[in-house]
Structures are given as structure tokens and as C-alpha cells.
Chain A
Amino acid sequence: MAFESLANRLQSAFDKLRGRGKIDEDVVNEAMREVRLALLEADVNFKVVKDFVGRVKERAVGQDVLKSLTPGQMVIKIVNEELTELMGGNVSTLAKAHRPPTIIMMVGLQGAGKTTTTGKLAKYLIKQNHKPLLVAGDIYRPAAIKQLQVLGEQVGAPVFSLGDQVSPVEIAKQAIQQAKENQNDYVIIDTAGRLHIDEALMDELKNVREVAKPDEILLVVDAMTGQDAVNVAESFNAQLELSGVVLTKLDGDTRGGAALSVKSVTGKPIKFAATGEKLDALEPFHPDRMSSRILGMGDVLSLIEKAQEAVDEEKAKEMEQQMRKGEFTFDMFLDSMQQMRKLGPLEDILGMLPGMNKVKGMKDFKVDEKQLARTEAIVKSMTKAERQNPDLLNAGRRRRIAAGSGTTVQEVNRFIKQFEEMKKMMKQFSGMAKQMQKKGKKKGGGFMPFKGGKPPVNPFGDNNPKGGGGFNFPFNPFK
């Protein structure tokens, strides 16, 4: 996950503050030194770090903070607030033209991911019932037009191209004309990657802007960019007046300093973040949520949103009913597993849970997706009757299931045993359901694909590492 190591470093700095009854300026200074190094190592721009640390220090040594009951927590709160502010405060939405089409221009350095992002943005708009037209304005890079055409086909958006012999200005002009005729309400213009110091190419962009009069000019920035990110953003902004930024490759293990610097230098908000290779991996950027992820406070809000999008409500309701009665079958298990996998890779989901990055061993932890697939195969190799009634599973049947799923009898046994334990646990929980209701909400659950804020079980056991031996779903994903 991006920011992971930055998060780790910051948290170790905070550990020094936590739990102390008294804090003086020296302690704050020491912690801030750590914070400063952590930010610099994460490629946050030098000047930005300087200002940031200065501001936090000023607020932190104020009398109210040092005299409060939990000064450590207060300092962390200040860092969280400043970090959110640094990344742009509130969520910014995409501009909308008074009279459609809304025109969006994508600009940036080579290899930042403009063309891919153009495709993703189209998908994002289509999901909201818009009709975007993609414009192939990169006439320089070999096969860039073809790339956009392939992406357009994948997301189901038309692509406007005049080949690579016509100037991008002319392409933009004709594309907008066509969009009006075909009633496309968004036009996304892809442009060639260029260095911000390349005057000829920057002039070309200015000309495209003149003609297209875009409502949005989005700078696409690779989250792995180093200290230069600021120069790039400043220069593009000075020449084109950007309206926002898209951060790409945030799914890497970058410390993402560029993300933290760009807003504060250009004053232009980060509007989207690309977090994966799939075409739907583009999300609106939430500074506050990102900030709490960096500080290890989790991002439960995003998780709930994801769940709402992916989970079939009817099914969840039905399942909830059954569970309340204490029923739990292999079919239900399979359903819940499939629903959960729709949320995306398990690792990403875990990253959003509060406190998860402090669990020992989380750093090297990898979810074995293959293991999940094998479990699925085991369940799918059972007959309908077996899925309803686990008692039927005698040795012969287990052998057949193992053969059918390409696993061994031992694996089948292990899984059935885990399932039985799970079932037992369900029964206990359903008995306690009423008492649990209040507590469950507090725990910030709402994660399992069951409706409501009262998950029957906490799918990853107790988040507290010391709790140990918690309940594992679907079985121990920690290797």
C-alpha cells in the first residue's frame, strides 16, 4: 500500500508521545525531528516539510495542548489536521459545464499514466450514466492512439481520432464538434506526455487549450515522483492554469510524498487517485481519509462505500435472517466469500481497517488468493445436499470432493473443521446479537457483507494483536 512505510515511521514517532502524562517542548521537538525525516524520506518536498513541521510545532507547544490531559493525542490530532489540510482539505468534485459537453484535458510528463487514466475516467463517468467521448490527442508516442482505442472499446466509450498526421489543435476542435452532434456530455482529451521545460510542446498545449476551452485541466502525476514533482506541477500550473491533479500508481509501495506536496505548492486539489491496473481503479481523492490512513487510523468510510457498491443487498438481508436463526451453510459461506472478494484484493481491504498496520507481521503479510480459490473449489465440489448438511460428509464423500477440487483429503478435512468452528461461533453470536448491537457499532464494524453496523462476527478476529487466536475468516489468511 502506498504510504505504508511513511505511516510506520510516523507512528513510531508518535509512540514516543503517546501515554505520556506530561509533554514539554523538548519532547515535541524530538518527535517533530522524526516526523521531518519521515516526510523527507517519503519525497515530500523540502519546503513543504519545513512549513509543515513549523506549523505543527507552533500549534503543539501552545499552552492548551501541553496542559491537556492527553497531550500526546492532542499532538497527533494536530498532525492529522495539518496533514489533511496539506492534501487539500475537502473532497473536490469534477467541474461541470453549464452547457454540455464538459471538456476535460489530461496533461503530464511521459509515463505518468495519462492515457490509462483517460480510459479509467471514462469508465467512472459511464458508471454515473454520462456519455464521454475520448479524444486521441497523443500523436507522437508510437501506438498511443491505438492504446486509447483499445481502452475505449473496453469501457464502451467512443474514441475520436484523426490519425497521427493532424495537429492536436485541429483534433480537439473537430472532436468537440462531433461531441455536440452526438450529444456526448463529456469530452476527455488525451495529450502527449511532455517535459514541462519543452517550450514547443507546451505551446502546443496552450493552443489546444485556446481552442478547446476546457472546464478541467487535470495534471496526471506519478505518485512515485521525487522532489521534482513540485517543479513539474508548478510549471504546468504556471503555463496552463491547472484545475486539479490526478495521482497515479498509488497502489505501489511508494511513500507518496509527491501527493503531499503538489497541493500545497500549486494550490490545486487532488481530484482522483488511481489505485490499480484494472479500469475501475480510479477513486475520488479524500484528503481526510488518506490522512487517517497514513496515521494508522484506518479508512472505514471508504470501506463501507466499497461494500455498498459491491454487495447485493437482497442477498445480504436474506443471509442476515438465516444467521439470526443460527443457520450457517456452505452455500452461505460461499456467498459471503464471493461478495467479499468483489470488494477488491484482500490486502487493500485490510489496509483500510483501523490499527491493521500496527499488527505485527502485517508488513510481510500477503493474502494467498490461491488459497481462497482452492477453498471455493472445495465448496463447489460438494453436492447441494452436502452443502446444506455437513453431517453427510463421510470419508468417501470427502475423497470425492478432494478429487473434484484438485485438493487433498487433508485440506478438505481442515476446511470442514474450520467451517464447523465458524458455525459454532455463529450460534454463540446470534444468541448474543441483542447485546452486541450497541457494542458492534462502536467497534466500527460494518465490514462484513451483511447489512447494518452489527456484523455477526468480526471477520479478522480481534484487531488487537494480543487478542490472538481470534476468529479467522475464511480461515487464517496470515501465512
Chain B
Amino acid sequence: MSFFKKLKDAIVKKSEEVTQKFTEGLSKTRDMMVEKVQDLVRRYKKIDENFFDELEEILITADVGVNTVMDLIDDLKGEVRKHKIENALDLQPILSEKLVALLKNEDNQTTSLNIEEGRLNVILFVGVNGVGKTTTIGKMAHMFRQQGKKVLLAAGDTFRAAAIEQLEVWGQRVGVDVVRQNQGSDPAAVIYDALQEAKNRNVDILLCDTAGRLQNKVGLMDELAKVFRVVQREIPDAPHEVLLVLDATTGQNALNQAKVFGETTKVSGIVLTKLDGTAKGGIVIAIRNELNIPVKYVGLGEKMDDLQQFDPEQFVHALFKGLIDEEIKEEAETETQQ
């Protein structure tokens, strides 16, 4: 059974609602990346330098990352020489396979959050300015509330004007309390208060907001390290998750962000927001191939429940939907013929 067939079978077993969210949210990525590759393969009768140039363009413009793309192209050129492939259509299976391999979850990185019953779970959110940290916290609070968990929010962004109010609005929307101090106060102190409050109230999950900061600002990163230390001191194995929130429209700088934030706070997972734009999500591939941090959640829309746990199978399925459907149709036809 082909890889695509297996994938299709696996997807059928999953929640239709989730499948639809992924398929819809990633429709732009599909159009811009996979469909373009399809079109390219159909247009070129013969493989030549221009073919590879165009392929390179499609992948790079999808933010897949220059290094990854160069490797892939070299790989393909090697295959073409080895098997003396002339027709672009014959290269297609190899190409799809390689693209899927870039996305596949080989080391079985877990994408679920490290949440345990019966203890206070602390999740720290970090990232640069404007990626959607506060919004993600709102959405995640909603998600945990739906699961019947007791949630508390900590307004640790004491820098940006009205960031505290923004979190409070989210708190009211989903029915969760927010621990806060005034703008300009020490974020570590806010987090400390929140930890005490969470212990007193027997809360299941504490979500800690922090101010957006560019990763090359040493002073601000030190401040974040302090927040991290305070959490560690108060609860020995906390924070149980440090989620780096990344904007999917970010280019190659995302890799820098993951690296530097990782050094400061031991990032345990990535939340990729705004994937529903025309951003082509190629950065998922870049992250997978150049970093060892799993993407755990993705933002696929503006609604409260548009935050979804990242599922590599769903991701590949959503991207290659056209191809998969085609292949399955072909197989079905051959079967009926036989």
C-alpha cells in the first residue's frame, strides 16, 4: 500500500471536524506550494536547468529555508542523473516522497502538552512582539475550560500599553480569572503572585503571559530568565511547558528566535500562529529540519476554537490533498478494471 493510501486511511479515523480545519486553514499553503509544484511537473516535458530553477523558486518563496531547499535540489539532481530521468512526470513520485519526508515525524516528537492531572501545571508563553501570545493564551484557556480544567491566567506583559486589559478581556470571554499588577511592574513579581494564587486555589493550569521581546535584546532576555527562575524556584519541575509563539509569516528569522529563546528558557514547544494567511507554512519544514523543537499547536483562524494541536499527518494530508485524492482514484480505477 502506498504512503498516501496509508495516510488517507489514518486520516479517515480522525475527527472530521479537525481534518476540515486543517484542510481549510492550509488551503493557501496548498495552492501556493504543492499545486504549483504539480503545475510545474505538468508543464515541463523535459527536465532541464530551468525546471530546477523554478522548483527552487517555489520552495524558497514558501519560506522552506535556503539550506533545506539547496539540499533538496542537489538531491533531486543526483536522482535524475542516477536514474537517467528525462520526463518531469517521472520525477514527481520522488519529489513528493522527498517533500513528505521533510515533514514526516520521524523521531516521533510528541506534540501533546505535558499536562498531568492532580498537580498545578504551569505553561509559560514567550516570543517576539506581535506574534499573538496573548491571543493564543485566550484560545488555550478556552480549550482547557472546555476540557473541564480549572484555569488561571497571569498578566506578565507589564510593558506594552493595555496588554493587561487585553488579557482581562479574554479572561472574561472564557470565564477565567486573571492575576495582574499595574503596567510597569516587575513581571517576575506578577508571576510569583500568580503562582501563590494558583496554589491556594488548587488550580489545574496556570497560563503565564510575558511581554513580547526581540531575542537580541540582552536586558529583556535577562528579565525573561528571571521569570523562568522564579517559576522554577516556586515549583521544582515547573514550568512544565515553555511555548514559543511564532508568527507563520515570519521568515528565516524564526530559526534565530527559536534558538535564542531556547537558550534562555528551555523552550519545549512551538505554537505557530496565523497559518491561515497566505503565509505558506514552509517555515514548519525549516523548523523541523534545522531545530529540534516540536511544533505543538497551530493557529488556523481567528475564532476561539481555531487553535489546534499540530498533527503532522493532518498537515501532510492537507498539503497533498489533491495528489492523494488523485492517486486513490487511479488505484480504484485499476482495481475495477481488473
Contacts and interface: CB of A to CB of B under 8 A. Distances in A.
Nearest to A225: B249
A143 B252 CA distance: 31
Contacts of A232: 249, 278
Given A111-B247, A147-B161, A197-B278, A252 B215 contact: yes
Given A111-B132, A227-B61, A195 B183 contact: no
Nearest to A39: B66
B66 A249 contact: no
Contact of B250 (A42, A225, A277, A369): A225
Nearest to B134: A142
Q: Looking at A45, A147, A151, which has the most chain B CB atoms within 10 Å of its CB? A: A147
B128 A224 contact: yes
Interface string A231-264: 1100000000000000001011111011000000
A154 B162 CA distance: 13
B129 A113 contact: yes
A143 B277 contact: no
Contact of B162 (A46, A112, A144): A144
Contact of B249 (A41, A226, A249): A226
Contacts of A226: 63, 249-254, 279, 283
Contacts of A154: 161
Given A45-B61, A253-B256, A225 B66 contact: no
Interface string A135-174: 0000001111011111100100000000000000000000
Interface residues of B, number: 46
B131 interface: yes
Interface string B8-47: 0000000000000000000010000000000000000000
Nearest to B53: A50
Given A40-B60, A228-B249, A142 B166 contact: yes
A197 B28 contact: yes
Contact of A112 (B130, B160, B183, B283): B130
B165 interface: yes
Interface string A115-132: 010010000000000000
A143 B215 contact: no
A142 B61 contact: no
Contact of A40 (B66, B128, B162, B218): B66
Contacts of B219: 369
Nearest to B211: A277
A45 B57 CA distance: 10
A159 to B, nearest CB: 11
Interface string B242-262: 000001011111101000000
B57 A257 contact: no
B154 interface: no
Interface in A30-66: 37, 40-43, 45-47
B204 interface: no
Contacts of A366: 218
Q: Which 4 A-B pairs have the closest CB atoms?
A: A226-B251, A111-B130, A142-B169, A43-B251
Given A150-B162, A227-B60, A252-B215, 19 more contacts: A43-B63, A43-B251, A46-B61, A109-B249, A111-B130, A111-B131, A111-B274, A119-B161, A146-B161, A195-B274, A226-B63, A228-B279, A249-B130, A249-B214, A251-B214, A251-B217, A252-B214, A253-B214, A254-B256
